[in-house]
Amino acid sequence: MEDSRTSDISKTTLDLVDLSTNENDASAPPAVDDDSLHPTGTRGFCVKEYEEQMQLLKKENFNLKLRLYFLEEKNPNIPEGAETLYKQNIDLKVEVDSLEKDVQEKQDLLCQASKALELLDVQKSNDLKHSQMKIDELNQKVESLEHEVSSLQDALSNANKPNLGNDTGYADFLGAIDNRDIELQRKMVEIRDVEKKFLEQISDMNVKVKELQDQKKVIEERASNLDYDNSEMKDKLSQVEATMTQQVGF
């Protein structure tokens, strides 16, 4: 009779838990037009808080369902003196399952961070190659211009003024050299700008890589701590179960 009553209470409580979850889902804030958003991003912050609360409620709901499940599996032959051990057993089981879930979530985050780091490395490599190609192309143009200017200067130094025909021809010759020299200087400035942007890109990419590496390290440490806690709780659970088995045959 007592078992039947306990089962009915547990079923009713489970229904209430499910109903509570549905009510939480139904209470989600309605869609808001973009024009009504606060300029300081207040709505985004509230939504973030709402999502965090929902995650917390889901976790509490999950733990509550676990407790009810373990209560339904309760051995009716357990004497009154073993109730404390039984409750401790349930608490440990719930905590172990919760820790296992947290560990899995952290491991998923760790995988995501690793993938993001790999993608960033690929992007960095591609950006460096693209920038280097631009620099090489400009260097080739500069070398070509330097060669042309050098040839013109050699021709000028070896040529005699009378051989140029007249003053107009000589002026055109000097003008050609000046134009080439101006173009050369312009290309040199362009190369310096590209090199500056190239170094800035490298610096930005290094900062992003460092940030991701730090995030990955934090996630790894948290996952390791959770894994350790999980193992410790399992050991405690085994000890309690062994004690209960010896005392009440549970």
Question: Would you kindly state where each structural domain of the chain is located, as residue ranges?
Answer: 109-250
| pLDDT digit string, tens, across residues 69-82 | 665 555 555 556 66
Burial class (CB in 10 A: 0-12, 13-18, 19+), 96: buried
In the predicted structure, residue 14 carries a pLDDT above the cut 60: no
What is the pTM for the complete model shown? 0.46
**Triad 145, 150, 151: Cα angle to 5°:** 100
Range with the largest mean pLDDT of 49-63, 121-135, 143-157: 121-135
The tokens for 232 are 């410790």
Residue scoring higher pLDDT (244 or 198): 198
Residue 240: the pLDDT is 64
Q: Name the pLDDT band for 36 (thresholds 50, 70, 90).
A: very low
Q: What is the mean pLDDT of the chain?
A: 65
